Structure 1
Amino acid sequence: MYKSEITEFLSELKETHPELDQQQQRGRALLWDKKPLDLAQRAEDTHARVKQTPYVYYQNI
């Protein structure tokens, strides 16, 4: 069965460094896996936000 050079390289890399899978999972959890949003807290945050004027550079005219 044919294996590309990239596939062979990745297979060899994972064999020599078995900790890579755990490091990848930790990195993904750090950057991408987020907790579910609390909709009540989000609504409160949105309501408490100060409104901004449409063109902020000329507020005193």
Structure 2
Amino acid sequence: MAIYESEHTKFMREWLAQHPQEVEEQKKGRALWWDKPQDLDTSTRRAQAQVPVKSYYYDINH
């Protein structure tokens, strides 16, 4: 059974094979925006500080 692979995926595989330096650039970009150290105390405080959302937002009686 053949596994489907989109044209975009094929293109990206070929392009990354031809430009291996871009893998490092991807990792730098990911580290810049997503890979951040996590602080358990800060996460806990943020979770506790959240205000519960009303079941019906526009109901002024509740």
TM interval, short-chain normalised = 0.3 to 0.5
Normalised by the size of structure 2, how large is the TM-score? 0.46
Name the structure where helix makes up a greater proportion of residues. 1
Q: Determine which structure has more spread, i.e. the larger CA radius of gyration.
A: 1
Task: State the TM-score, normalized to the length of structure 1.
Answer: 0.47
